[in-house]
A and B are shown apart, each in its own frame.
Chain A
Amino acid sequence: MVRLITHNLLACHAKGCTSNNFPLQLKDVQLEQREAEFNPDFLRRFMPKLDWGALVDTARQLGDDSLPLEQPEMFDDDFLRKLHHVLLEVSVEEGAMVCPNCSHIYPISNGIPNMLLAENEIG
């Protein structure tokens, strides 16, 4: 269950891949709705760490356009609930994440992404 919050924090880390290595492109994904605890404090505290553009783009690719393109300055309850849904309840059960730069494929199986690198990819 790669939730989009996790997707927003993971970058390709293969040897030499240091630019254009985020966000990873989701491919052949099987989505699932997962339960998560709505916690406005958690969301507010986490917001500064988000790459907002990457989150909105990824959500739209998955067919969810509930979030505005620009991160709002005021967070009302309605916005926080939408953010909660996109960030924590949309999750990828099967599929892969592909680096836009080096094309490394990180497979996702039973909701757990495999971010290990091959021997020739480590520094």
Chain B
Amino acid sequence: MPQTRYLIIFAQAHYDFRIPELLSVAELHGFSIGLPDQPEPTRPYMVVQLEHQDHAILLASRCILIKSVCEFYAQGSSYDELHAAVRSNKQEWIQHQADASFKFTVTGFKCSLPAQKQREIIESFSYMALAGKIDLKTPDIILSVFEEYDSRVANVEGKHEQPNRFKQVYFGRLLVEGTARSLAAKFDVKKRVYYGNTSMEAEISLLMANQTLASSGKLVYDPFMGTGSMAYTVAHFGAQMFGSDIDGRQMRGKEKQAGVFRAAAQYGVAARVVDLCTFDVTHNPWRCGDLFDAIVTDPPYGVRAGAKRLGRKKPPTEKHIASLSSQRVGALRPGDSAPYIPPTKPYELSNLASDLVLLARYLLRPGGRLVFFLPTVNEDYQAVDIRTMLCEGMEVVANSLQDFGSWGRRLITLRKTTNQSYDPPTFEAPSEDVDELDGETAHVPAHKDFREKYFQGFKPAAE
């Protein structure tokens, strides 16, 4: 297949999420995308290869992090290089030479270019001999120049007088503006009729939905539903959504109609929220596995809300258990002042993460994805951390860091690679000393006991 080059202009946010999002949207629509040999996702411009222009339009309509996409004509580290490349790529733009009305734009990344300078740059393209009219309002084509400066260089005084100090300059024809970015405003948490203090910010909820490959006809599950942040974005992209939480109050809120249903109605996706259920995921009522196309979740990791599971910190005695036999969830017994609520105990994060992967392998259809956040201490993080929680049949698709300084959270995307059916996980915590089997101290994952580390300010434990 002939490949055409396109220039992607990224929004300035979440650069570690850019490539995973491109690849997910390409996979969702079933086309391939040729990335640079050594992609540099921190840079605002990226030249990619696509088989068809429609693919570029699909990317721009679904990727939250795409600002716009241009048909790529040339790039260079100086204008001499750029113009030489434009001249030699004449076959790319010659079709517009005759009569298309046009407009030029010049944009600097980390540098603002004065009008006079912009005019000079535009005039330097006069050899293209475009015969169409200049039309600033409704041009047939928009030709764009992008100068990319390093932040270091941009701080040097008098950069406008030294036009060759930029890192790279790109030239292309605007093909399409990114339309998915505006969804971040639509799903703004502050404008939502129901949310809580752990609700996920809109832009990240959208990126998570893209990682699930959400689309019409699919069924997606959030086992730590909370206030339902990801349900709205997943459902927006057409999938049906199912949610559960150990604490029903998070999903309900205070009004009679559950808060999650009200917020779903606000976004016009109430018809795609299949149901909400109160249960502990470690004691779950699923009748069978292989049900969901994706599982998406932000597990509570203990800073604002700690993860809980049914049980007690200290196992109850036989006698105590015997005395409990008449208890029933939500029911009043003679002499009770409030309905019975079963006790819960903390759910340590590294156990939760490993259990979640096993649960996903059981509940996902073959090829289905698990998308979840894992908080981690940046200094202690090692790539092996992710492998410690993997199991046979689950592989890593993406791992993107949202960096908060001393800690961060990683959006992990896994894929179920097996067609085999597995038993439901037992959710038994591994014994504490398995890490030291070989007599050596194994690396402790940076997300283990995250809550304790967070409140200790990420200082190394005292000797």
Contact = CB atoms under 8 A, between A and B. Distances in A.
Looking at chain A, what size class is its interface with the partner chain?
Answer: 35 or more
A117 interface: yes
B240 A13 contact: no
Given A36-B271, A122-B283, A116 B310 contact: yes
17 contacts: A6-B277, A9-B291, A11-B287, A13-B285, A112-B258, A112-B276, A114-B279, A116-B246, A116-B283, A116-B310, A116-B342, A119-B311, A119-B321, A119-B342, A120-B324, A122-B310, A122-B342
A122 B327 CA distance: 12
Interface residues of B, number: 48
B173 interface: no
B431 interface: no
Given A117-B283, A119-B343, A49 B274 contact: no
Interface in B280-300: 280, 283-288, 290-291
A8 B285 CA distance: 11
Contacts of A117: 280, 283, 310, 329, 342
B275 A118 contact: no
Interface string B313-337: 0001000010011011111000000
B287 A9 contact: yes
A66 B251 CA distance: 33
Contacts, number: 127
Nearest to A116: B329
Interface of A: 1-3, 5-6, 8-13, 22, 35-37, 39, 41-42, 45-46, 49, 51, 88, 104-107, 109-120, 122-123
A45 B271 contact: no
B258 A42 contact: no
A22 B285 CA distance: 10
B342 A110 contact: no
B270 interface: yes
B329 A41 contact: no
B258 A13 contact: no
A104 B216 CA distance: 36
Given A10-B285, A42-B217, A42-B240, A116 B278 contact: yes
A41 B328 contact: no
B133 interface: no
Contacts of B291: 9, 49
A10 B342 contact: no
A39 B325 CA distance: 45
B275 A3 contact: yes
Contacts of A104: 328
B432 to A, nearest CB: 21
Contact of A120 (B244, B285, B327): B327
Contact of B277 (A5, A45, A113, A119): A113
A13 B283 contact: yes
Nearest to B255: A110
B248 interface: yes
Contacts of A107: 329-331
B312 interface: yes
Contact of A114 (B270, B287, B325, B329): B329
B245 to A, nearest CB: 10
